[in-house]
């Protein structure tokens, strides 16, 4: 008996009755704070590879050389929509939901430095890392197919049958070498810290 009264009381509430008779599903709208896959804002990409550096998903984003400019490309099957690339990009090339606006409003950014190391017991001197590195390609367009180079300005080259790292400070942490290494011998340590610009000022 008591439970019947409970049911009657529960379902005779005016708001429930109103809902029952005038039920209307709210239209499906994407809220403004929804974080979608990053899209391009149309600003010019400088090819600093910050987005590739910070991306936690393997194969989520790649900065590719189009005819005359760089352009990031997002692979939606791999992207996990974390929005870190939008935050890390210094040129506001990417946008995703409110992330870009909020990051600008908060004046937050990431600061980072990198360290390259090669495990010589795993390395088989194929030179894939030196060939695939986009900075190497810019520094020395004549880079050999086996990773040898006559330029001293490259990040790394094959010398005496092993990888020599010359200019670690030029590395942008894009981990292209890591992806292209067949043995996972080269590792890029990416040190990132989140900063707030008021702290620096």
Q: Which of 196, 199, 191 is nearest to 102 (CA)?
A: 196
Q: Does 3 bind another protein (CB under 8 A)?
A: yes
Q: Does 191 bind another protein (CB under 8 A)?
A: yes
Smallest gap from residue 110 Cβ to another protein (A) = 9
Contact 52, 62 (CB under 8 A): yes
Smallest gap from residue 179 Cβ to another protein (A) = 14
Q: Which of 82, 87, 116, 106 is nearest to 191 (CA)?
A: 116
Beta carbon nearer to another protein, 160 or 198: 198
87-126 footprint of another protein as x/- string (CB under 8 A) = x---------xxx--xx-xx-x--x---x-----------
Beta carbon nearer to another protein, 182 or 194: 194
Following CA atoms 53, 59, 60, 61 in sequence, which dihedral angle do they give, to the nearest 10 degrees? 60
Smallest gap from residue 16 Cβ to another protein (A) = 11
| Lookup result for tokens 């936690």 | 56
Report residue 162: phi and psi, to 5°: -150, 160
Q: Which of 22, 93, 81, 29 is nearest to 55 (CA)?
A: 81
Please state, in angstroms and rounded to a whole number, the distance separating the CA atoms of residues 174 and 136. Answer: 12
Q: Assign residue 14 a region: left if phi > 0, alpha if psi is -120 to 50, beta otherwise?
A: alpha
Q: Does 166 bind another protein (CB under 8 A)?
A: no
Q: Does 190 bind another protein (CB under 8 A)?
A: yes
Q: How many residues bind another protein (CB under 8 A)?
A: 38
Smallest gap from residue 77 Cβ to another protein (A) = 16
Q: Does 44 bind another protein (CB under 8 A)?
A: no
| Lookup result for tokens 């060939």 | 131
Beta carbon nearer to another protein, 84 or 156: 84
Binding site for another protein (CB under 8 A): 2-3, 6, 10, 31, 33-35, 54, 56-57, 80-84, 87, 97-99, 102-103, 105-106, 108, 111, 115, 187, 189-196, 198-199
């Amino acid at each position: 008996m008591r439970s019947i009264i409970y049911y009657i009381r529960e379902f005779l509430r005016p708001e429930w009755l109103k809902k029952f008779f005038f039920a209307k599903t709210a239209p499906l709208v994407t809220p403004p704070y929804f974080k979608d896959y990053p899209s391009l804002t149309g600003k010019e990409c400088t090819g600093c590879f910050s987005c590739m550096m910070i991306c936690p998903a393997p194969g989520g984003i790649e900065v590719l050389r189009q005819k005359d400019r760089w352009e990031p490309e997002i692979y939606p099957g791999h992207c996990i929509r974390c929005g870190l690339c939008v935050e890390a990009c210094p040129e506001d090339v990417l946008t995703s939901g409110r992330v870009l606006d909020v990051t600008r409003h908060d004046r937050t950014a990431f600061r980072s430095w990198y360290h390259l190391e090669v495990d010589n017991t795993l390395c088989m001197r194929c030179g894939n890392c030196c060939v695939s590195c986009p900075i190497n390609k810019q520094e020395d367009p004549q880079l050999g197919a086996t990773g040898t180079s006559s330029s001293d300005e490259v990040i790394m080259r094959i010398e005496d049958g092993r990888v020599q790292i010359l200019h670690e400070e030029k590395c942008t942490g894009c981990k292209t070498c890591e992806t292209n290494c067949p043995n996972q011998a080269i590792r890029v340590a990416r040190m990132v810290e989140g900063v707030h610009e008021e702290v620096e000022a």
